[in-house]
Structure 1
Amino acid sequence: MNATIEKFGWPGTLLCSFDHWVVLARPAQPTLGSLVLAARSQATAFSDLPPGAHAELATVTKAIEIALRQAVDYAQINYLMLMMADREVHFHVVPRYDGQRDWNGRSFPDAGWPKVPDLGAAIPLAGDELAALVDWLKGFFVAQG
């Protein structure tokens, strides 16, 4: 795995794996269910990914959207390709909603709604709480087969 994938907690945050991509729970949650969709390659430019990685995005994004719809009933979803500090190709996947979602005794408001997501307002999760989020979200991917 590349450095970006490892930085976002792989293998502990792994929700689902594909030939060219991994889906990880994002340790800092700007909204409940925020993910990292990361290419497994060392590419640092989207255009440098192999054709199979681009083709597989249709399958991967469908799986993400089904899982997050069930998990948090989002109103919109944002795929943010920022790649400033973490150079390998990846997206921050942020489910968007008006108000908040509650999970595990905590509230997760969408502080930026209805404008751009407020990544600075992310709720950091670690340890047992992050592991519980991974287990919870993983169930929505496993349910798809």
Structure 2
Amino acid sequence: MNQTIEKFGYPASLIKEYDNWVVLLRPAQITLGSLIVAAKSNAEDFGALSSDDFAELKTVTTDVATALKQLVSHQKLNWLMLMMVDPHVHFHLLPRYDGAREWMGQKFEDTAWPGPPSLGDAKKLTDDQIADMAAWLQSSFPA
């Protein structure tokens, strides 16, 4: 795995692994169900991905949207490809919703709805919370 994937807590944060992509729990939750969708290649430019990477991305996006809709009941999904600090191709995927969602007694509010997400409002998860939330999210992904 590339350094960007490792920085986001792989393998502890792994939700689902595909041939060319991984879906990771974002250790700092901006909204409930915030994920990282990262290419396993060493590409540092979106256009440098292979045709196989792009083809599989269709499956990944469908799986992610279906799982998050079931668990979080989001109204929109924001796919942010920032790559300012972490160089390898990856998206910060943020479920967006009006109001708040609860998970294990903890409230996750989309503080900037309906505007651009407030990245500074992220809740940093503990190692135990990462394990629990990853398992919760895995339960809705196709086998």
| Structure 1: runs of 5 or more not aligned | none
Distance 1:136 1:23 in 2: 14
Q: Which residue of 1 aligns with 2:21?
A: 21
Alignment correspondent of 1:126 = 126
Match of 1:140, SS state, is coil
User: What residue in structure 1 maps to residue 117 of structure 2?
Assistant: 117
Runs of 5+ consecutive residues of structure 2 not aligned to the other structure? none
Residue type of the alignment partner of 2:71: A
Match of 1:72 in 2: 72
Which residue of structure 2 aligns with residue 103 of structure 1? 103
d(CA) in 2 for partners of 1:36, 1:137: 13
Q: How far apart are the structure 1 equivalents of 2:55 and 2:86?
A: 23
Counterpart in the other structure of 1:84: 84
SS of the residue corresponding to residue 74 of structure 1 reads coil
TM-fit CA distance, 1:79: 0.3
Q: Please state how far the C-alpha of 1:130 moved relative to its aligned partner.
A: 1.3
Tell me the TM-score normalised to structure 1 length: 0.97
Given residue 9 of structure 2, which amino acid in structure 1 is its aligned partner? G
What letter is aligned with 2:116?
V
| SS at 2:53 equivalent | helix
Match of 1:62 in 2: 62
Cα distance, 1:127 vs structure 2: 1.3
Report what 1:4 is aligned to: 4
1:26-62 superposed Cα distances (whole Å, 9 cap, x missing partner):
0000000000000000000000011110111110000
RMSD: 0.6
What letter is aligned with 1:90?
H
Structure 1 counterpart of 2:77, one-letter code: I
Tell me the number of residue pairs that the alignment of Structure 1 and Structure 2 aligns.
Answer: 143
Instruction: Output the CA distance in 1 between the equivalents of 2:131 and 2:90.
Output: 22
Distance 2:18 2:12 in 1: 16
- Structure 1 runs of 4+ aligned residues shifted over 2 Å read none
Q: What is the deviation of 1:112?
A: 1.2
- Tell me the TM-score normalised to structure 2 length: 0.98
The code of the aligned residue for 1:2 comes to N
